[in-house]
Amino acid sequence: MFSKTWNTESGFGNDVYMKFYKINSFYIISKMKNHKKIKSKLLKLIDKMPTSSLDKISNTDWSLAKEYKREYLHYFYKKITPCMNEIAKEFKSQRWEIHNGWFQQYRKQDSHPWHNHNNANFTNVYYLELPNKKMTTALKCNGSIVNVEAQEGDLVTFPAHIFHRSQPNISDKQKTVIAFNSDFYMGQ
Ligand SMILES: [Fe+2]
């Protein structure tokens, strides 16, 4: 816990007093049924997508037009519906929604630096190909770095404001994830 006074250079021109209070956070791991079957189908569908690199990620559709037909996402969203319904039940949420989804393929030494996601209350990552358990997502929370404890076929869900990164791919095999942003509506 700490406090500091921050003098704004613009805006209202007043001193703003802030005090940060730490609270606990969490992540959820959902196990996807029939991962092997889903994996083979999804990888084939992803292979049909145009290839495009972004920074240190060898292949991703992140920059592709939102209107581009993504058959793999259509299939994937159907498969994760039971997991999303289960999470909603735990949250006592009446409704959930996925805003956007994309794939990322990390080849040797590929990585994704610290970042968080906007316009969603949760971020989700499905480990479609995970050659090494040390290459899951790292989360930064309350000054600590936590490596998500997951294996291939798991879906991790965590609050979207949490800074996270994909560490360098240290293996010779490819790591593939499908990431998406979601909202679980509570009390509405
Ligand atoms: Fe992310």
Q: What is the DSSP letter of 22?
A: -
Confidence of residue 12 (pLDDT cuts 50, 70, 90): very low
Q: What is the CATH number of the domain that holds 173?
A: 2.60.120.620
Query: Ligand 1 centroid vs 163 CA: distance in angstroms?
Result: 8
Quick one: pLDDT at residue 14? 61
What number is the average pLDDT over the span 13-30?
84
Query: Ligand 1 centroid vs 116 CA: distance in angstroms?
Result: 6
Q: Quote helix, strand, coil % in the chain, to nearest 5.
A: 20, 40, 40
- The string of DSSP letters for 41-64 reads HHHHHHHTSPP--BTTBSEESTTS
**19 domain-assigned:** no
Pairing mode, strands 154-159 and 28-31: antiparallel
Quick one: pLDDT at residue 188? 58
Q: What percent of the chain has pLDDT over 90?
A: 85
The 10s digit of each residue's pLDDT in 73-83 is 999 999 999 99
Query: Ligand 1 centroid vs 9 CA: distance in angstroms?
Result: 31
The 10s digit of each residue's pLDDT in 124-173 is 999 999 999 999 999 999 889 999 999 999 999 999 999 999 999 999 99
**35 domain-assigned:** yes
- Which amino acid is located at 52 in the chain? S
- The string of DSSP letters for 101-141 reads EEEEEE-TT--EEEE--SS-SEEEEEEEE-S-GGGSEEEEE
Query: Ligand 1 centroid vs 160 CA: distance in angstroms?
Result: 8
**5 domain-assigned:** no
Query: Ligand 1 centroid vs 40 CA: distance in angstroms?
Result: 24
pTM score = 0.90
The yes-or-no verdict on residue 49 having pLDDT over 80 is yes
Contact by Cβ (8 Å): 137, 154: no
Q: Give residue 157's domain range.
A: 24-185
Contact by Cβ (8 Å): 109, 173: no
The yes-or-no verdict on residue 17 having pLDDT over 80 is no
Q: Which of 166, 161, 168 is nearest to 62 (CA)?
A: 166
Query: Ligand 1 centroid vs 57 CA: distance in angstroms?
Result: 12
The 10s digit of each residue's pLDDT in 103-131 is 999 999 999 999 999 999 999 999 999 99
Confidence of residue 13 (pLDDT cuts 50, 70, 90): low
Q: What percent of the chain has pLDDT over 70?
A: 91
Number of domains in the chain: 1
Query: Ligand 1 centroid vs 12 CA: distance in angstroms?
Result: 33
**2 domain-assigned:** no
Query: Ligand 1 centroid vs 13 CA: distance in angstroms?
Result: 34
Query: Ligand 1 centroid vs 46 CA: distance in angstroms?
Result: 19
The yes-or-no verdict on residue 3 having pLDDT over 70 is no
Contact by Cβ (8 Å): 164, 115: yes
Helices (H) and strands (E) in the chain, counts: 2, 12
